[in-house]
Amino acid sequence: MVNEPYGQHWKGHKGFRAIEGNDVYNHRFGGQEWNVPKCQLCGEDLHQILCFDLKDDRLSELRTSKLEELPLISCLNCSTLWEPQLFQLNPTTKNVTVLIQNDKEKWIQDEEDKIPVPLPYAKFKLINMLEEDIPVNEDAYYNAFDLFGQEYICRVLGPPLYAEKPNDISCPTCNHDMKYVSSVTHDFEVDLVSVVDLFLGEMIIYFYFCKECLTLKTEIQGT
């Protein structure tokens, strides 16, 4: 694994754990307040996995006058998840449009194992990352990976945990750099969300956002 990068400078930019619980802001898991399209492979509505309230000053670097909240969208029931995806957000209508889905495997989850659509709703809150979440050196990096998906489901801002550094984070639509927003994973035999059984295997879903053209990108890496 190659993290990008180790270093003490992350101590001032810790980021947050997103966990289930009440907050004064409307951060949430699941639900379907956004009008999501149907997956091009399995034909079911895409999952609104999480949605962040951008009125929260802790998320000020994601804020734009065009958008009051930022949904994290993908299909969790088929192999469209495994390749990069690009979505267009329209805050006026709360519509999400698929711009890119390049599925190669054509795999669909067995019916009895499918994650429900839409995901059940739960309130989420942000808490500061702990010292052990910050990859300041190689040992800390591996320790942080052990905690992610076992103690909490989502990292927001701060240092990403990468198995491999992404080659290109420029927006495919306007070529501006996309902002790393969040990463999500959930291990087996833990219960980090009370409203649904969720298992993402050894995959981490990374979400990037372009404030210029309101596009959301997903990428997957294995741990």
pLDDT tens string 98-148: 999 888 899 998 998 889 999 999 999 999 999 999 988 888 888 998 899
CB 153 within 8 A of CB 16: no
Provide the domain count of the chain: 1
Any domain includes 215:
yes
Query: In this predicted structure, which of 66-70, 83-87, 162-166 has the lowest mean pLDDT?
Result: 162-166
Burial class (CB in 10 A: 0-12, 13-18, 19+), 144: buried
Average pLDDT, integer, range 41-46: 92
Quote the domain boundaries for residue 176.
17-128+146-222
- Give Cβ neighbours of residue 10 (< 8 Å, ≥ 6 apart): 134, 135, 136, 158, 159
Any domain includes 171:
yes
Q: Which residue has the higher pLDDT, 164 or 201?
A: 164
Any domain includes 46:
yes
Any domain includes 27:
yes
Tell me the pLDDT band of 6, cut-offs 50, 70 and 90: low
Tell me the pLDDT band of 204, cut-offs 50, 70 and 90: very high
CA 148 to CA 112: how far, in whole Å? 27
pTM of the model: 0.92
- 37: tokens are 């399209």
Q: Which residue has the higher pLDDT, 68 or 191?
A: 68
Any domain includes 87:
yes
Any domain includes 141:
no
Any domain includes 140:
no
CA 76 to CA 67: how far, in whole Å? 25
